[in-house]
Structures are given as C-alpha cells and as structure tokens.
C-alpha cells in the first residue's frame, strides 16, 4: 500500500462565518487535485471552531473561586482556568501547568482541549460544539460538488498518559468507523485475534499532524490518499463516540 499525505495549501486564515468546505474545495482545485474514492481529509479543529465562530473571549471571563484555587495550584492564568471549567463536566487530575478534565463531549484531555495558539491575543478556541456534525457538513459539501465519497476527520493535538509529547487525535468523523475491531481474524501464525481493536481515526490524525504541524506551518487541512479499509468500516452515520472508553472501564480514573 502506497500512502500519500498531502498538505492542502492556499487556505487563508479562517474567520468567523467562513465557509470552510468551500475554502477547502477551492484550495484543492488550485492544487490541481481531484478527489478519489477512499480519500481522507483531516481538518484541524481550530479551523473548524474559528469558522463556526466558537471563540472564548478571555477578557470577558470572571474567574470563580474554584478557578482561582486551581490557578494558584497550576500556575495557569485564572481566566484560562475559568474557561477550562466552563468547558468541562469533571476535573480529574491537576498538576503543574495542566488540568486533566472531561469535556462536555466526553473527551478526557488536558485543559479541556482549549487552544490559545493561532488565534488573536485575548482569544482561545475550545473544541467545536459538535465535531461529528462539523465533519459531516464538510463531507456532504464535497460530495455535492465533486460526487465523490470521502472521509472527513476533525483532529486535535493532545498529550497521552505516561508518554511525553503530543500527537494528532480524532475528535470528529464522518464516513468511516473510527475503530476497526479485528477480533476473530488470524495472525501470521494462524492464531485467532481476541481483543485487537485499531483506532483508525487516531492513526490517520497522527499521520496528518506530521504535515499539519503545530506552529506557523499554516496547513489546517491534510489529504491522505491510498488508505484501504474494509467496506464494513464505511458508514454514513458514524460517530467519534465509539473511540471514547466508557467511564466504568477507565481503570486510570480515580
């Protein structure tokens, strides 16, 4: 399998109200690329949040007493802490310069996924309100204009427990099941796989982040070509929620 990871260039800085799907289509056309079956588009969540006008204006926030206590403990700006609390349903762990919480979407991540990079001073972008829906809107627009079925993933950059550094992960998806359950298949020694589930949406997001970058690269969209997954994984009404481990099975949570 030959895999291509192509940064989509020519997309301007996103503003509130921008039609993100149309900007992507225009950029793809200017690169002289035509969509193919099984193409995967990975879109940075910051671009989605900005286009949808989902900003946090930090100067408008009044830190609560809980935010002030956590700010003192973590060394973080009290207004950022207040934003984290507002985007969270549960604070799970607090450490130096980080707050691990569960977001309203069910994601467990640092600082509720709030991003202060690539936005104007005094602003931050939280995780989009409904990343699955955002992915579906982009996918539907591409299908309408090109008559091609593609997969769209909304990605974020998050750290991982017990490992340094951050990687791309999927927070929204349309067109593909985010988890590939391979239990029942045989390995190279003809032994049956028992509990092998592959987080394909996260794998694709991590691959895209190599090209997308984290600083001033200016590439919020990446096209991945050459991925071959079984037809059984293709799904019009999929959701990223199948990637979220149920709380009762989370052995690391207090």
Q: Which domains does the chain have, with CATH numbers?
A: 1-54+128-254 (3.30.1330.100), 56-126 (3.90.1660.10)
- Whole-number pLDDT of residue 217: 67
Residue with the bigger pLDDT between 252 and 234: it is 234
- Whole-number pLDDT of residue 250: 84
Model confidence at 1: pLDDT above 80: no
pTM of this prediction exceeds 0.75: yes
Alpha helices in the chain (DSSP H): 20-30, 45-51, 65-74, 78-86, 131-146, 200-212
Q: Predicted confidence band at 224 (pLDDT cuts at 50, 70, 90)?
A: very high
CA pair distance 73, 100, nearest whole angstrom: 13
The residue count of the chain comes to 254
Q: Return the number of other C-beta atoms located less than 10 Å from residue 188's C-beta.
A: 5
Report yes or no: 168 and 212 within 8 Å, Cβ to Cβ.
Answer: yes
CA 107 to chain centre: 10
Residue of 137, 150, 143, 129 whose CA lies nearest to 50:
129
């Amino acid at each position: 399998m030959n895999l291509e990871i192509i940064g989509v260039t020519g997309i301007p800085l996103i503003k509130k109200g921008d039609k993100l799907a149309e900007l992507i289509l225009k950029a793809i056309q200017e690169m002289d690329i035509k969509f193919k079956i099984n193409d995967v588009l990975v879109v940075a969540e910051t671009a989605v949040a900005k286009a949808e006008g989902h900003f946090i204006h930090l100067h408008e926030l009044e830190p609560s007493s809980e935010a002030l206590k956590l700010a003192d403990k973590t060394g973080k700006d009290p207004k950022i802490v207040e934003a984290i609390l507002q985007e969270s349903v549960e604070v799970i762990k607090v450490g130096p310069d980080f707050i691990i919480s569960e977001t309203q979407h069910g994601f467990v991540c640092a600082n509720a996924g709030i991003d202060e990079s690539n936005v104007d001073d005094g602003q931050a972008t939280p995780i989009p309100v409904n990343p699955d829906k955002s992915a579906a809107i982009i996918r539907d627009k591409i299908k309408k204009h090109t008559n091609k079925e593609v997969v769209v993933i909304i990605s974020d950059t998050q750290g991982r427990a017990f490992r340094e550094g951050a990687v791309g992960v999927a927070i929204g998806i349309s067109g593909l099941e985010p988890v590939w359950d391979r239990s029942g298949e045989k390995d190279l020694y003809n032994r049956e796989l028992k509990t092998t589930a592959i987080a394909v949406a996260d794998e694709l997001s991590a691959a895209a982040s190599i090209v997308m970058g984290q600083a001033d690269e200016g590439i919020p969209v990446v096209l991945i070509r050459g991925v071959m997954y079984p037809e059984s994984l293709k799904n019009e009404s999929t959701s990223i929620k199948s990637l979220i481990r149920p709380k009762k099975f989370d052995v690391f949570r207090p």
